[in-house]
Amino acid sequence: MDEQARAWWQGPNRVLLINLREGDEPRIDAEALVADAKRFSATAFCISGGGIVAFYQTKIDGHRISSGLDGRDLLAEIVPVAHREGLHVLARIDPSCAPKVLAERHPEWFTRDRDGNLCEVSEHYVTCPSGPYYRERMVEVVTEILTRHPVDGIWNNAGKFGAWDTTVCYCDSCRTSFRAFADADIPLEEDWEDPTWRRFNEWRYRQIADWVRLMHRAIHAANPAAIFISAVQLMESLETIQIGGWDIDYWLDGQDVLTFECQRRNTAPWWPGIQAKYLASLGPDRPRWMTVSYFYPWWRLSATPEAENRAWIAQQFANGVSSWLHINGGYSPLFDRRALEPMREVFARLARWEPYFDGARSVAQVAVVFSRHTQDNYGRGKPGPRYFDPVRGTYCALQEAHIPFDMLSDKFVDAAALARYRAIVLPNAACLADAVVDALVEYVKGGGAIVCSFETGRYDIEGHPVDRPALDDLLGARRTGVRRDLKSSYAKLEQRDDPLLDGIGDTDLLPNDGALVELAMEPGAARAVPLTLIPPVIAHSGATISIPEYSAIGSGTDIPVALRGGFGAGRVVYFANQVDALFYHYGFPDLGRVLANAVSWAIGEARELRIDAPDHVDCTHMRQSMSRGRRDLVHLVNFPVGKHLNTGWRHPGTSIHPVSDIRVALRCAAGERLRAVRLASTGAVLAPTLADGWAEVRVDRLDDHDIVVFEFEQT
């Protein structure tokens, strides 16, 4: 895009999200606030606007003005100063609740529980996304803000069902809308076995998406140059996402900047990476932002450790996402200021590295498919073990093996999307649309590769079992049933020279647990079976662990645990067990290695990047087009080392241990000459070793984040 033609928000940005609290106003000085934002090397910031409470002099009846303003208008004071200093300003809105007094005049604005009661939160009542408060009053609010103040856009917080720990809404607006959608009443209980509940769940996503698009239209009608961004998350905040009706896939035409929140901390340290990769695949040509919290939810005045936030932010930048730093309570007389200066340093580095960010796109050869339909309609009441753990295990295995990859939504799996990749990984993607299955079959026929596990594709998107002969043909076996309760079982190594078992070493077996899909091999399908099932080793019925004296394997079986082979011009690996989930849950390193080996074999000889580094070093492979060649950017992110919990989740780390002697090797393309290799952090030139079409360099030291920059020119 022409630099002169694109809007400010379409390029790299560094944003602060400054949440004001009622009562902070006497300590707010526009000049000081803007000067502080500039000390973060910010390009923009977001300041509280309206919704729950107005931080400007609203004229809308019932839109309560903050009691601390004392006649002031913070938007009128702050926006002109920010613009003078070259900073852009977004106004934050929150439609999730309104003062109780309004319920007397507008009872139709508010959420109702199943008994018809209003839902109280902090002296307010929770509002309903189906009702006029969201769909009329919030339109009034953003229109007033945009027509009276020259703000550059609107950031929406908590636009969702089930706000502030409430449950299903049974107001008249919701009842009417759902009946029109499903010809049924809203269920009184959550029951994932009930098709009506699953339809209701889908309705929530579509209802919020409809409101987001309505707000987008209203904002652009009020100010065509203003942007609209709405809060949403992926996967690890399911208790917010699912009941809230958050699915960004449905919002793409209602968002100017694709944005995820990334606040919570009781999760894997690579959650920002999952979200950033997903955003990049949704909108490779669109701007993408993500929040990172300065604080610990739910202790909003306590700073997150510097080491953790460094990796949190680095993953965003390394995947082509602009970071916002969310600061809450920074103008409180009581605050934790310890991480402010380190975060200023991080944002200053992002500003220096902006030339390596602008226009950079992932050239990962692998994509992992994420399926929200599987999350809900297969995961049902247990989405963690049934679906998230396979995704988490796959992510962790590839990250530790230093195989760059993208996250791809199953809603956008088609021939064009698949053509970008050498291999597609489907970790128990149980619920797939017919069109997706057809696209995968054609992709492999044409030379692509897939790695899939367990019940991938055995259900339609609504969670109904389906018979899919084409998918079974792809696997080379017919799936006949599921064997369960395999605790204390094993997988026997049948073919030690199989590429899936590379580097396993001197063992005859690998641990197994859970369930296994039983297979009937298709006649004539040439499939290697490197792993077979050894049934549970249990000395007596009902035991959770066998008596040592009787921990003996009686016999093996010919039941396949893993299959590998060709289909058309492509390659297929199928794990009949839950290898990905088991790796995540138990941390068995052999299972992660086998999974990564499967992906490496699927890629084949075309692999473009090799990295020799400890498993806590993450990597991405990005590329920029240059006037006479290309620039390849290999990001190295050093995760802080922390405690490992027996759930497989890492405790947030508080210490970054520098890593030395990392080897990075990049394949050189024909018709190009490697002009230079350097480190982004220091500008130091690295001397490459050139051999067999590869350029290899050594990185002497990695602290938290660095970029190995390879520059090629056409010969």
pLDDT in the model for residue 237: 87
Asked whether residue 191 is domain-assigned, the answer is no
Q: How far apart are CA 34 and CA 332, in angstroms?
A: 17
Together in a domain, 578 and 546:
yes
Is the pLDDT at 548 greater than 80, yes or no? no
Q: Using the 3D structure, point to which of 358, 391, 426 is the last residue of a domain.
A: 358
Q: How far apart are CA 552 and CA 539, in angstroms?
A: 8
Is the pLDDT at 329 greater than 80, yes or no? no
* Sign of the dihedral through C-alpha 347, 352, 358, 362: negative
Together in a domain, 422 and 486:
yes
Total number of domains in the chain: 3
Together in a domain, 483 and 626:
no
Asked whether residue 657 is domain-assigned, the answer is yes
Is the pLDDT at 543 greater than 60, yes or no? no
Together in a domain, 266 and 285:
yes
Model confidence over 515-537: pLDDT tens digits? 999 999 988 788 999 999 999 88
**What dihedral angle (degrees, nearest 10) is formed by the CA atoms of 361, 230, 346, 702?**
-50
Together in a domain, 613 and 601:
no
Q: How far apart are CA 244 and CA 229, in angstroms?
A: 16
Which CATH number belongs to the domain containing residue 504 in this structure? Answer: 3.40.50.880
Distance set, CA 196 to CA 75, 191, 519 (Å):
46, 9, 33
Model confidence over 596-626: pLDDT tens digits? 999 999 999 999 999 999 999 999 999 999 8
Asked whether residue 652 is domain-assigned, the answer is yes
At 335, give phi and psi (nearest 5°): -160, 155
Q: How far apart are CA 441 and CA 459, in angstroms?
A: 16
Model confidence over 115-173: pLDDT tens digits? 999 999 989 999 999 999 999 999 999 999 999 999 999 999 989 999 998 999 999 99
Percent of the chain at pLDDT exceeding 90: 84
pLDDT in the model for residue 296: 78
Decide: helix, strand or coil at residue 31.
Answer: helix
Distance set, CA 212 to CA 109, 381, 438, 682 (Å):
17, 27, 32, 44
Q: How far apart are CA 634 and CA 489, in angstroms?
A: 40
Is the pLDDT at 546 greater than 80, yes or no? no
Together in a domain, 344 and 489:
no
pTM over 0.75: yes
Decide: helix, strand or coil at residue 49.
Answer: strand
Which CATH number belongs to the domain containing residue 253 in this structure? Answer: 3.20.20.80
Together in a domain, 556 and 517:
yes
pLDDT in the model for residue 539: 56
Together in a domain, 469 and 534:
yes
Helix (H) or strand (E) holding 93: strand 88-93
Average pLDDT over residues 638-662: 71
Is the pLDDT at 325 greater than 70, yes or no? yes
Cis peptide before 298 (omega within 30 of 0): yes
Which CATH number belongs to the domain containing residue 692 in this structure? Answer: 2.60.40.1180
Together in a domain, 213 and 351:
yes
**pLDDT-derived band of residue 627, with 50, 70 and 90 as boundaries?**
confident
Query: Are 125 and 118 within 8 A, CB to CB?
Result: yes
Note down the domain range covering 623. 609-714
Together in a domain, 382 and 405:
yes
Arithmetic mean of pLDDT over the chain: 93
Asked whether residue 107 is domain-assigned, the answer is no
Q: How far apart are CA 677 and CA 632, in angstroms?
A: 10
Asked whether residue 567 is domain-assigned, the answer is yes
Together in a domain, 318 and 387:
no
Model confidence over 14-49: pLDDT tens digits? 999 998 888 889 999 999 999 999 999 999 999 999
Together in a domain, 432 and 559:
yes
pLDDT in the model for residue 646: 45
